[in-house]
Amino acid sequence: MNQQVLLHKRPQGNISSTDFSVLQTEMPTPADGEILIKNEYVSIDPAMRGWMNEGTTYVAGVALNTVMRAFAAGTVVQSNHPKFKIGDAVQGLTGAQEFAVSNGQNIDACNLALGPLSWHLGILGMPGMTAYFGLIERAKPQIGDTIFISGAAGIVGSTVGQIAKILGCRVIGSAGGEEKCQHLLNLGFDAVIDYKTENLTAALTRHAPDKLNIFFDNVGGEILDAALAHLAWGARVVICGAISQYNNQQFYGPKNYMKLVSARASMNGIIVFDFKERYPEAVVQLSEWLKHGQMQYKEHVVQGLDRFAEALNMLFTGANFGKLVLKV
């Protein structure tokens, strides 16, 4: 049998366990030109919250009572496809389920010499690519730039910060709680702001007296306003996410957006899929940095597909510490 997580209803606000149904279904059979993948890890990502909504943003929302869209990594267990053989490690958008049939489109081989399977959902996967291309192609860091990263203890934020350090930036991150903040300092961040206890504006003024050349935003809300008010001349604001707002019925609009004008700054965003052709370059570079100890990577593994809703909710309460994956 195949264990699957289906989107059962669309949440208004916070996610509840009844938004998903976990079912045992018939084992799927791959047709000609198809493969059967046994997923070992399912990635839990903030983007999933948007995928649960009706309508289309950069992709269409997941249809009700279909398998929840998810990146997953596993092993090919049957193959009727010339490009794949049994035992191949692969990852792709194969969904929150134990077994998936695929025609091989958008299924990528995982090179386990570069890192263990689950890493291909994290630092060597979509979030790592988001950090790499979001920073390098959208924020365009220069040596000596001061960068502020919100949600810096998350996989994207901590990867952005570590790459920025390697590239010669002064790196400031915000996170919730002493343990996460200490972790960021251990990763080499120059300064951290505990958003749960510190005044953002005062902390930014203290840690970035020459203001911010780059703001990389994973959080949105008031932290975005505080950062906008503190932009340096010619600053780049890269919007990656807005985890503080995804469960809100009404998005918080940044009241300080006119600071973009006076600071001669610009705001744009990162959609990782735009850089698909260049993933191999980033995967090799990130694995090199990891191998040489210039970067660290931390995972948070939750056991069992039936804990999907609980795990997804951890992203919004900040309960995870490290890249969140479900072990199937």
Query: How do strand 20-25 and strand 35-43 relate by DSSP bridges?
Result: unpaired
Encoded amino acid at 218, one letter:
N
The three-state DSSP-derived secondary structure of 40-61 is EEEECCCHHHHHCCCCECCCEC
- Residue 258 found at the interface with its own copies (CB under 8 A): yes
Dihedrals φ, ψ of 316, to 5°? -90, -25
Alpha-carbon gap, residue 319 to 145, rounded angstroms: 31
Give the interface segment with its own copies, choosing from 25-33, 143-151, 180-188, 266-274 (CB under 8 A). Answer: 266-274
**Nearer to its own copies among residue 92 and residue 241 (C-beta):** 241
Which one of 14, 53, 57, 66 is in contact with its own copies (CB under 8 A)? 57
Give the interface segment with its own copies, choosing from 61-69, 110-118, 161-169, 234-242 (CB under 8 A). Answer: 234-242
Alpha-carbon gap, residue 285 to 291, rounded angstroms: 10
Give the interface segment with its own copies, choosing from 36-44, 68-76, 171-179, 255-263 (CB under 8 A). Answer: 255-263
Q: How far is the CB of 266 from its own copies (least distance, A)?
A: 4
Give the interface segment with its own copies, choosing from 102-110, 171-179, 246-254, 285-293 (CB under 8 A). Answer: 246-254
- Residue 261 found at the interface with its own copies (CB under 8 A): yes
- Residue 265 found at the interface with its own copies (CB under 8 A): yes
Which one of 115, 225, 302, 315 is in contact with its own copies (CB under 8 A)? 225
Residue of 232, 230, 219, 217 lying closest to 256 (CA atoms): 230
Alpha-carbon gap, residue 215 to 138, rounded angstroms: 11
Which one of 77, 109, 260, 314 is in contact with its own copies (CB under 8 A)? 260
Number of residues that bind its own copies (CB under 8 A): 28
Q: DSSP character for 253?
A: P
- Residue 253 found at the interface with its own copies (CB under 8 A): yes
Which one of 163, 242, 243, 302 is in contact with its own copies (CB under 8 A)? 242
- Residue 40 found at the interface with its own copies (CB under 8 A): no
The alpha carbon torsion through 126, 128, 132, 133 (nearest 10 deg) reads: 10
**Nearer to its own copies among residue 93 and residue 101 (C-beta):** 93
- Residue 316 found at the interface with its own copies (CB under 8 A): no
**Nearer to its own copies among residue 232 and residue 270 (C-beta):** 270
CA 158 to chain centre: 10
Dihedrals φ, ψ of 60, to 5°? -70, 150
Alpha-carbon gap, residue 76 to 107, rounded angstroms: 11
Number of other CB atoms surrounding residue 223 within 10 Å: 24
Q: What is the DSSP string of 116-148?
A: -GGGGGTTTSHHHHHHHHIIIIII---TT-EEE
Give the interface segment with its own copies, choosing from 75-83, 145-153, 166-174, 248-256 (CB under 8 A). Answer: 248-256
270-299 footprint of its own copies as x/- string (CB under 8 A)? xx--x-------------------------
